[in-house]
Amino acid sequence: MRYLMPLLAAVCLVGLIPDAARGQGFTMGLKGGLNVSNLSVDDPADPDFGFDSRTGFVGGAYLQCGGIGWFTLQGELLYSRSGAKSRGANPAFTIDLDYLRVPVLFMARFSSGESPVLPIAYLGPQVSFQSRCRVTGDIDGTSASFDCDSEELDEPLVTNLVEVGLVFGGGLEVPVSLLTMQLDARYNLGLTNLNGGPDADDVNVKNRGWSFMVGLGYPFG
């Protein structure tokens, strides 16, 4: 975590915004909330197989760069608990996928007249690094949990550890004394096939889900 601020600062200073056009400094903050995640499965051999969503925690830090008028750039570093629950499987099981996500969001603020509350919308790429993959289920009436690649599973899961995706959503920015509150809802669209097994060419598995977060930021600079 000690590399968080240098990393996010680098996101802001890579030259996407010319020096002369940058706004009035930065906003640094923390945010957290709820994931409603799922897995999209494309398996021609079993078209009815699928998952139901599961909920988990998401949170981390963000650094917002001064932008050009209504435009700004926001880099984030988030810990996200994702995954899905089996649908119709016997026995039932849950796949827990934990990620360190690094979205880079191109954000637009919209004027709301005299109100200090600003609607926001954003879109941007996201790179995610898998930190954990577990399968949890009932075996003979007893709950058990294994790593996805454990040999104790009938069919160990091989997953790709790096995922590229797209994030889009919107929300509100609300001034709270010297701070800025950020309320946002976003959709996480995974573009990478998570299946790293020998059947990866035939079975495509991708992350999907909504995140709902509240953040508090401090403007400086």
Q: What is the pLDDT of residue 53?
A: 95
180 strand-pairing partners: 175, 217
How is residue 193 written in tokens? 């096939």
Q: Which two tokens stand for residue 179?
A: 């701070």
DSSP-derived pairing of the beta strands 71-86 and 93-109: antiparallel
Show the tokens assigned to 47: 């078209």
Predicted local distance difference test score (pLDDT) of residue 20 = 38
SS3 158: coil
CA-to-CA distance for 168 and 108, rounded, in angstroms? 12
Q: φ and ψ at 153, to 5 degrees?
A: -80, 145
Strand partners of residue 33: 58, 213
pLDDT digit string (tens) for the chain, length 221 residues: 454 555 555 555 544 444 433 445 789 999 999 999 999 999 888 888 889 999 999 999 999 987 666 889 999 999 999 999 988 777 788 999 999 999 999 999 887 678 889 999 999 999 999 999 999 887 666 788 889 888 877 778 899 999 999 999 999 999 999 999 999 999 999 999 999 988 888 899 999 999 999 999 998 86
Residue pair 131/96 in contact by the 8 Å Cβ criterion: no
- DSSP line for 48-62: T--EE-EEEEEEEEE
Paired residues of 162 in beta bridges = 129
Residues 6+ apart with CB under 8 A from 97: 37, 81, 82, 83, 130, 132, 133, 159, 194, 207
Q: What was the pLDDT predicted at 141?
A: 67
Q: What is the pTM of this model?
A: 0.85
pLDDT at 23: 45
